[in-house]
Amino acid sequence: MDSALSSPSNGPGTDGMYLSGADQTLVKLLVAGPFGVGKTTLIRALSETPPLHTEEVMTQSGAFVDDLAGVREKTTTTVAIDFGRLTLPGDLVLYLFGTPGQKRFRPLWQDIARGALGALVLADTRRLADSFEVMDIIEEAGLRYAVAVNTFPDAPHYDAEKLREALDLHPETPLVMCDARDRDQSVDALIALVGHVLAHTPQENQTS
């Protein structure tokens, strides 16, 4: 996508399965977070079209590169992107790009982030410190973001204020709890992000 916000109309050759006759506002968003935090799961739960995944089975050699602490049960990893699409009321269409969480994919992350309007950062209370590098990259890119704490069954639970303090979040940065497997909770997390992003987007960009 060349721009973060656009409003195309249906035209010849457009597949009506994906676009209605009315103008739609298209928003590119990232779903980011450290390795094994649930990005693929969240996009799978949200996408109204068959999601694109680039998961590969983890090999023995990968164990020396990827830290499996807290995610010992993980057997696959995203090696390029996840992609999904979600339409919200008011003809707001979200294109969701899941980014790999490992450091070695940072150049790929920078390419995927081009044209994005914001990011949903997934976090895991079993390893909150792993989220700092991801948030630093997003802030360096100048993107606004929201944090969604994925509530793994065996993860410790903390109140929101303690989590905000631990993650050193700006007071305006949304923080929500969600089970990435649950569509409704994941939608609520995205709505929090979209509201935050649009509240800080110049009006002329929202209608261009």
Kindly report the average pLDDT of the chain as a whole number.
Answer: 79
How far does CA 5 lie from the centroid of its chain? 17
Q: Examine the pLDDT at 71 and tell me if it is beyond 50.
A: no
Residue 19 has what pLDDT? Answer: 47
| Contacts of the segment 164-169: beta carbons below 8 A, 24+ positions apart | 166/128, 167/123, 167/128, 167/131, 167/132, 167/135
DSSP 118-146: EEEEEE-GGGGGGHHHHHHHHHHTT-EEE
Is 24-67+74-207 in CATH node 3.40.50.300? yes
Please name the amino acid found at residue 191: I
Sign of CA dihedral 12, 16, 18, 20: positive
How far is 66 from 31, CA to CA, in rounded Å? 19
Tell me the two tokens of residue 204.
């002329």
The pLDDT score that the predictor gives to residue 74 is 44
Per-residue pLDDT at 18 exceeds 80: no
Residue 11, pLDDT score:
40
pLDDT tier at 143 (50, 70, 90 boundaries)? very high
Model confidence at 69, pLDDT cuts 50, 70, 90, reads: low
Which residues does 139 contact at the CB level (< 8 Å), separation at least 6? none
DSSP H or E segment with residue 198: helix 183-199
Pick from 46-55, 143-152, 161-170: least confident: 46-55
Structure tokens given for 130: 């792993």
What was the pLDDT predicted at 80? Answer: 55
Q: What band does 135 get if pLDDT is binned at 50, 70 and 90?
A: very high
pLDDT tier at 50, thresholds 50, 70, 90: confident
145-159 pLDDT, tens digit per residue, is 999 999 999 999 999
Query: Tens of pLDDT along 37-46?
Result: 999 999 999 9
Cβ atoms of residues 167 and 123 within 8 Å: yes
**What CA–CA distance (Å, rounded) separates 66 from 2?**
33
pTM of the model: 0.76
Residue 130's pLDDT is 92
Q: Identify the residue with better confidence: 110 or 121.
A: 121
Q: Does residue 10 register a pLDDT over 60?
A: no
Residue 73 in tokens: 């049960």
CA distance 150 to 13: 40
The pLDDT-based confidence of 14 (bands split at 50, 70, 90) is very low
